[in-house]
Chains A and B, each alone.
Chain A
């Protein structure tokens, strides 16, 4: 039972919102939030500790507060927000190692919840249509957030072997989207003209930020040991997502993809990383049967619904508005019907 909960990464959007959700839980007495930078959100009664999880301060915090549940949400996907790739890697990997070391020493910790990502399955043309939790990557991710996630999961599994008494829940989230949330992918989809890989149309899967938070809450307040994929139902293809958004796709040969990605990043439009290119070429879809049966979680938003909710907030860059298209169709079909009626009568 979660009484004193330590949440890492509370100064980021999802972490901060999660801390606020958690403090409304009746069984939770204290929420301690940790991050390197001060929080941007009002954290309410969450006690904020400004500490780097890369150094051993965290162990002292844990022992002083008798933390019994640790929620690790500080695996960062965007190098820009972490101050560069090197620092991102350090926060992700060394930070996780320090946190796990502290957990291992702590006699009070009884539960660990880790926010991971479906990027651990990699992405390639040899991928099965849907990954289940027991499958591994056909081609291991070679760098960036995906590789960090694989390493983080490796250390977490090592910890689980050494402390079998600790309940471990690992949640692998598909691409999280939400009206407020900014990720590399959301920035990418928010551009009016979006470069896409020529001749490829990947299947994408989204999970809404609200659903992601609810899944973490469920794993925190109840006992659900295991690893779960968390994603909204169904898939959308990249071209479909762009059409629904009213964006224009600009197909670019895959060989130029890295170059275009770099240009996009340089321009500061979206924090576009090379592994993103693979995702946008081959896509990735996960199976969420276990999420429903074992975790008992039923997302409010489907993949398409989550996308729609995100698009509502980012209508700005629309080029080809869906309602306009509908209008043109109505006018044309009305005219056709009239012309046909006329020719029949005449």
Chain B
């Protein structure tokens, strides 16, 4: 209550200080398009004005003198049903008329839209909004820096898009709006300050058209896939988006699967790989899968078997180049010194790691060690010059798989030779 009073008095004071320009500006913009429905705004019962509840009671029912007369709430009566009210179907359709005389004048509901298609809000919403806005503005200007108003407006637009669903999701579930504004941004501190990822040869990823990036997999949790995605996105001159292919276990897991799809991943299967490559996307695969991800620390940087070579045939069928990539540093983030196999089987997981920090430190044990990472993209291996039907030739597929594997292993060794320390 005291907070509400505080805010209310602050608001009153602020209104004294600077009464006019904003109210009339915004109010006008608000009222014009919907003026026909203006009559009912005050008649909405005071239901759930979440953000405004604290402010509303303190606002004097009379309109402040500074507000232009046409913003005055029009007295509502039982007859004052807007033309738009007919639009609202269903059980609430009778409400505006019944509720007409009951609601106290000047009350409003920000969130109530069911029976009031976009009613305008009289001066109150503007004032309440302004009070909140002033508060937010003070917060924003101190935390966002000099450009704060543009950035705050961008954030607001983002929030509005998220709340109303006005964003696009591609056929695979990639949510560009969320990925660009949130997911990648969340990974950047990890990428820049924690792992200090150094990227080499990123232009080996072609500037346009499909390509298949093949990399080694390690680190217990697939952070290497995420970091590679950031590397290609942030360091490549064309800011290309890497579409990682993930195991079905990922898409079975609550939250992880959802976030992975929204971040551009899809299931590691030939159909999806070929569809993405045919659309000219950069696809990332980690053919070692769980064998690589969950291998013990003593076997670090030793490439495991490369699946069945499905990724090579996908590249052959679509004629895109294969870009081998070596990731150094990911092995040391969670050094896996033990594996709780029985418990893992009970939980349906491929492995349950024991690291120097996990599970001893609980959630804290999930903090990765700050190893220094290097991601090197090697020369691409072209596939478009191979004869048609090369994908159906198992010998050729095996040879190519080996070649990719060898390239990654050699790049790993040379990077390790040049490495001064795990952490620097």
Q: Is A82 an interface residue (CB 8 A)?
A: no
Closest to B125 in A: A331
Interface locus among A105-113, A127-135, A220-228, A270-278: A127-135
B252 at the interface (CB under 8 A from A): yes
Q: Which residue of A lies closest to B93 (CB)?
A: A316
Q: Are B153 and A336 in contact (CB under 8 A)?
A: yes
Q: Which of B93, B129, B149, B272 contacts A337 (CB 8 A)?
A: B149
- The count of chain A contact residues (Cβ–Cβ below 8 Å) is 59
Instruction: State which of A125, A130, A254, A328 has its C-beta within 8 Å of the C-beta of B129.
Output: A328
Asked whether B114 lies within 8 Å of A285 as measured between CB atoms, the reply is no
Query: In the complex, which residue of chain A has the Cβ closest to the Cβ of B126?
Result: A331
Cross-chain contact of B118 among A200, A243, A327, A342 (Cβ < 8 A):
A327
Contacts of A333 in B (CB 8 A): 152-153, 156-157
Alpha-carbon gap, A220 to B125, bound state (A): 56
Give a binary string over A118-158; 1 marks a CB under 8 Å from any B CB, 0 the rest: 00000001111110100100000000000000000000000
Cβ B133 vs Cβ A339 within 8 A: yes
**Of A24-32, A61-69, A160-168, A230-238, the one with at least 4 CB within 8 A of chain B:** A230-238
Docked-complex contact B114 and A240, CB < 8 angstroms: no
Q: Contact: B258 with A129, CB < 8 Å?
A: no
Question: Considering the chains assembled together, what is the distance between the CA atoms of A343 and B145 in angstroms?
Answer: 13
Q: Which of B88, B160, B255 contacts A199 (CB 8 A)?
A: B255
> Is the pair B133, A331 in contact by a Cβ cutoff of 8 Å?
yes
Docked CA distance A89–B3 (Å): 61
On chain B, the residues within 8 Å of A323 by CB distance are 113, 117-118
Q: How far is the CA of A242 from the CA of B172 in the complex (A)?
A: 19
Which residue of the partner chain, among B114, B153, B157, contacts A318 with CB atoms under 8 Å?
B114
Contact A328-B110, Cβ < 8 Å, known A129-B172, A201-B262, A340-B148: yes
Let me know if A331 and B30 touch, CB within 8 A.
yes
With a CB–CB cut-off of 8 A, which chain A residues contact B67? Answer: none
Is A86 on the interface with B (CB-CB < 8 A)? no
- Name the A residues within 8 Å of B117 (CB-CB): 315, 321, 323
A323-341 interface code vs B (CB 8 A; 1 in, 0 out): 1111111111111111110
CA distance A301 to B211 in the complex (A): 33
Instruction: Check B248–A254 contact: CB distance below 8 A.
Output: no
* Interface presence of B315 (CB below 8 A): no
Q: How far is the CA of A342 from the CA of B129 in the complex (A)?
A: 17
Q: Does B87 contact A (CB under 8 A)?
A: yes
Q: For the complex, is B169 an interface residue (Cβ under 8 Å from A)?
A: yes
Q: Is the CB of B26 within 8 A of A334?
A: yes
With beta carbons under 8 angstroms apart, the residue of B22, B93, B118, B271 that contacts A324 is B118
Q: How far is the CA of A285 from the CA of B173 in the complex (A)?
A: 10
Closest-CB distance, A255 to chain B (whole angstroms): 10
The answer to whether B114 and A321 touch across the interface, beta carbons within 8 angstroms, is: yes
Does B337 belong to the interface (CB within 8 Å)?
Answer: no
Give the residues in chain B near A254, CB-CB below 8 Å.
254
> Which residues of chain A are near B99, meaning CB under 8 Å?
none
Contacts of A200 in B (CB 8 A): 254, 257-258
Instruction: Report the Cα distance A331→B21, complex, angstroms.
Output: 13
Residues in B whose Cβ lies below 8 Å from that of A239 = 165
Tell me if B420 is interfacial: C-beta within 8 Å of chain A.
no
Among listed B73-81, B135-143, B295-303, interface-contacting one: B135-143
Complex: A281 Cα to B183 Cα, angstroms: 22
Evaluate contact between B267 and A126: CB separation under 8 angstroms: yes
Q: Which residue of A lies closest to B127 (CB)?
A: A331
Nearest residue (CB) in A for B253 is A199
Chain B, residues 218-254, CB within 8 Å of chain A (1/0): the string is: 0000000000000000000000000000001001111
Cα A197 to Cα B252 in complex, Å, equals 12
Given A243-B163, A244-B165: A337 touches B173 (CB 8 Å cut-off):
no
Residues of B within 8 A of A316 (CB): 88-93, 114
Contact B271 A242 (CB under 8 A): no
B262 nearest in chain A by CB position: A201
User: CA separation between A86 and B129, bound complex, in Å?
Assistant: 56
A237 to B116, CA, bound (A): 27
Q: Which residues of B contact A198 (CB under 8 A)?
A: 254
Question: A254: nearest residue on chain B (CB-CB)?
Answer: B254
Which residue among A199, A321, A343 has the maximum number of chain B CB atoms within 10 Å of its CB?
A: A321
Classify chain B's interface size: 35 or more
Pair B159/A203 contact, Cβ less than 8 Å: no
- Is A314's CB within 8 Å of the partner chain B? yes
Is residue B134 contacting chain A, with contact meaning CB distance below 8 A?
yes
Q: Closest A residue to B175 by CB, please name it.
A: A237
Determine whether A14 belongs to the interface, using a CB cutoff of 8 Å to chain B: no
Contacts of B166 in A (CB 8 A): 244, 322
Taking a contact as CB atoms under 8 Å apart, the answer to whether B25 and A237 are in contact is: no
CB within 8 Å for A326 and B160 given contacts A129-B275, A200-B254, A316-B91: yes
Query: A313 to chain B: which residues have CB within 8 Å?
Result: 89
Q: How far is the CB of A274 from chain B (nearest CB, A)?
A: 18
Q: Is the CB of A334 within 8 A of B272?
A: no
Is there a chain A Cβ closer than 8 Å to B379's Cβ?
no
The residues of B that contact A203 with a CB separation of less than 8 Å are 169, 171, 173, 261
Q: Pick the residue among B25, B134, B165, B266 that contacts A242 (CB under 8 A).
A: B165
- Report the separation of the CA atoms of residues A342 and B169 in the bound assembly, to the nearest whole angstrom: 39
> Nearest chain A CB to B33's CB is how many angstroms away?
10
Q: Is the CB of A129 within 8 A of B271?
A: yes
Q: Does B164 contact A (CB under 8 A)?
A: yes
User: How far is B136's CA from A337's CA once the two chains are assembled, in angstroms?
Assistant: 12
> Do B93 and A335 touch (CB < 8 A)?
no
Whether A317 sits at the interface, judged by CB under 8 Å, is yes
Specify the chain B residue showing the minimal Cβ separation from A203. B173
Contact A336 B133 (CB under 8 A): yes
Bits for B279-313, please: 1 = Cβ < 8 Å to A, else 0.
00000000000000000000000000000000000
Answer whether residue A241 sits at the interface, using C-beta atoms and an 8 A cutoff.
yes
Q: A200-B254, A242-B165, A314-B89 are in contact. Are A336 and B110 (CB under 8 A)?
A: no
Q: For the complex formed, measure the closest distance between the CB of A342 and the CB atoms of chain B, giving whole angstroms.
A: 7
A329 to B152, CA, bound (A): 11
Q: With A and B bound together, what is the CA distance between A331 and B156 in angstroms?
A: 11
**Is B255 within 8 A of A336, CB to CB?**
no
Set of chain A residues within 8 Å of B156, measured between Cβ atoms? 329, 332-333, 336
* Cα A287 to Cα B251 with chains together (Å): 20
With A201-B262, A338-B21 as known contacts, state yes or no: A319 contacts B257, CB within 8 Å: no
9 A-B pairs (CB sep. < 8 Å): A125-B267, A128-B271, A199-B256, A199-B258, A237-B175, A241-B165, A244-B165, A246-B113, A340-B141
- The chain A residues found within 8 Å of chain B, CB to CB, are 125-130, 132, 135, 197-201, 203, 234-237, 239-246, 254, 282, 285, 313-340, 342-343
Other than the given A130-B275, A254-B254, 16 more pairs (CB < 8 A) read: A129-B271, A199-B254, A199-B257, A200-B254, A203-B169, A243-B163, A244-B166, A317-B114, A318-B88, A318-B114, A320-B111, A332-B132, A333-B156, A339-B137, A340-B141, A340-B148
